[in-house]
Structure 1
């Protein structure tokens, strides 16, 4: 099993990168969140998941071990393959996914390409207990979760920003910069647009 690779990035062609490790080029599929975190760096370490099917052997790579853990939980859900799991992690960050499952927000999950309302509900049913039990390493996850729950209007503001055309991650980043927990939904949206 290939669990981690460290090497030099030869090509980036989202969702795939070509990573040279010891003279061998590995084609690795990554969620968009990992691409954002790579920045312009030439060298990279990825936590990997090696997936074998009858007709293919595919490597999936993640900047954080938490994303790899969530990816493995997602592909355990009946009907969710690695490509759909990758799409979910590209669409939602770790905290958003955990919150969507915990708050039974099937509408947010259904916005992921390839996920319908029924699949989103199945994800919530199968993942709710499992995600509550898993241990994640990232302190940033708890921070984001705490800030999202601090103001009950944050989720409504995030949905409104998405309706305006912002991606989920953009909306969350804009709202994460706001520290005042007493703002109304309208005030949150106004400040988020000013922070852009």
Structure 2
């Protein structure tokens, strides 16, 4: 039904409120997607609409790849939207792909609510699908590392995201960002 929503971030907590033309959409996101958002910032979230008997829930993702993995996960019997979101909050897209392709159920069990049996089932049912996903592993981890380092130094997420660019390496990126933020 929806591919994405574009609007201003009004609130960030356990969920995001995205204002689009005067309508505030309550959207649940993974921790990794939340890290890329800041209140007052314009954002584009790729959407998955979950329709249950008693609720309609929006899930938002910073990339199409993250949404695609989420959809693969919830198509696995025993994995609901909450657990799928918890997996994507615990690991980056590249880490999830690596765990599944290398059949590392033991690592996936670090997700709250994920037992060994579910982890093995998830691997079996998504392995063939997930190998086709291009997760841009190097770009994602470099951006995340730079952001995390600057957050640890006391800079706000909004300051960082307004200046963040593509970088070849973490150290050079941190040096450049420190110069921009000073």
Per-residue deviation, 1:64: 0.8
Q: TM-score, normalised by structure 1?
A: 0.68
Gaps of 5+ in 1: 146-175, 179-196
- 2:53 is aligned to 54
Query: How far apart, in 1, do the equivalents of 2:121 and 2:139 lie?
Result: 25
- 2:149 is aligned to none
Q: Aligned with 1:38: secondary structure?
A: coil
Query: How far apart, in 2, do the equivalents of 1:40 and 1:10 lie?
Result: 5
- 2:6 is aligned to 6
* Change beyond 3 A, Cα 1:69–1:123: same
Q: Aligned with 1:101: secondary structure?
A: helix
Gaps of 5+ in 2: 141-168, 172-182
Do structure 1's residue 107 and structure 2's residue 98 form an aligned pair?
Answer: no
RMSD: 2.1
Question: After superposition, where does 1:161-180 map in structure 2 within 5 Å?
Answer: none
Query: How far apart, in 2, do the equivalents of 1:144 and 1:120 lie?
Result: 27
The number of residue pairs the alignment matches comes to: 144
Contact 2:6 2:45 in 1 (8 A): yes
- 1:79 is aligned to 78
Query: How far apart, in 2, do the equivalents of 1:41 and 1:124 lie?
Result: 38
Q: Which has the higher contact order (CA 8 A, sep 6+)?
A: 2
